[in-house]
Structure 1
Amino acid sequence: MLNEKVSSLLNDQINKEMYSAYLYLDFANYYKNKGLDGYANWYEIQAKEEMDHAMLFMKYLQNNDYEVTLEAIAKPDKVLNDFGDALHASLEHERYVTSLIYRIYEAASEAKDYRTMQFLDWFIDEQGEEEKNATDMITKYELFGKDPKSLYMLDNEYKSRTYSAPSLTLD
């Protein structure tokens, strides 16, 4: 049986991951409207990954006999005035999600819920990767993105990204 605080935080995380997907779809839409299909592709794939994360949290709770409660997903509230805004907002958001995962891990540790801590280890690694990707995109944009030819090349680079399902599976 899961600790009440831990299970509540895990359930809340489902909504946070779905919001992340919604936010990244908003970013994809912004870039698509600006003619940057590669950036749009990057964020469409990010959205799929975030939905996968939500499903993993849901499955984990269900596998532990917890009745999941889904809440409303908030509307994305980021104002995007130029191409770099979504990149910076993405890094800020990933850092926020990392803090949420750490909060759940801390609660699991206090409850001596080692199984949940082990489950969260994958997400901690994943968040490190997400923050690095967001930082790398900002760095590349700041170095090269102001030049139209270089922006075109970056956009083509992001167009080649393909979706792959998460390596963590729960049955």
Structure 2
Amino acid sequence: MISKKMEKALNDQVNFELYSAYFYLSMSAHCASIGLKGFSNWFMVQYQEETFHAMKIYQFIIDRGGVVHLQAINEPEQSFASPLEMFTKTLEHEQEVTRRFNELSDLSFVEKDHASRIFLQWFVTEQIEEEANVNEAIDRLKMVGKEKSGLFMLDNEFATRTFVAPTA
């Protein structure tokens, strides 16, 4: 059985993961509207990942005998000055996600909730990859600068990214 404190914290994280999905869906829509379909795809994959994360936590709450409490999702930002700005905001957002998962992990220690601690380790590890992917995109965007051909090449590359749901 999950403690009420852990249940509430995980429900808050479900909400934040769904907000994250909205955040990336907004960026995907913006990129599509300015003709960057590859960038749109990159952010759509992020949307799919965040939705998967929310549902993974949702199911964990249920499996532990908790109650899922769905909350209102905040409206995300709708327009952006550049792809670099979007990825910079993405990095800041992912750093916040990392902070939140670290706090959840800390709470699992305080609550002596070993099942939650083991469950949350997957997310802590996942965040290393998330931040690294975004940092790589930022580095590449900085390399191309305002060079349209470089942006075109990145757009084509980002179009090939796909979502594959983890099996673990």
Where on the TM-score scale, by shorter chain, does this alignment land: which range?
over 0.9
Contact kept in structure 2, 1:17 and 1:51, CA below 8 Å: yes
1:65 correspondence with 2:62: no
1:119 and 1:78 map into 2 onto residues whose CA distance is 33
Contact kept in structure 2, 1:49 and 1:166, CA below 8 Å: no
1:152 and 1:81 map into 2 onto residues whose CA distance is 17
What SS is found at the alignment partner of 2:47? helix
TM-score (norm 1): 0.95
Deviations 1:58-103 (A, max 9, x none): 0000001111000011000365112211110000000001111111
Q: CA deviation at 1:144?
A: 1.3
Q: State the match for 1:76 in structure 2.
A: 76
How many residue pairs end up in the alignment? 168
Q: CA deviation at 1:3?
A: 1.9
Q: State the match for 1:114 in structure 2.
A: 114
Q: Percent identity?
A: 36
Q: State the match for 1:144 in structure 2.
A: 144
Deviations 1:125-160 (A, max 9, x none): 111110011111100000014211111111111001
What SS is found at the alignment partner of 1:130? helix
Name the Cα RMSD after superposition.
Answer: 1.1
TM-score (norm 2): 0.96
Map residues 20-169 of structure 1 onto 2, 5 A cutoff: 20-77=20-77, 80-168=80-168
Q: CA deviation at 1:167?
A: 2.9
Contact kept in structure 2, 1:145 and 1:154, CA below 8 Å: no
Unaligned runs of 5+ in 2: none
1:104 and 1:58 map into 2 onto residues whose CA distance is 15
Unaligned runs of 5+ in 1: none
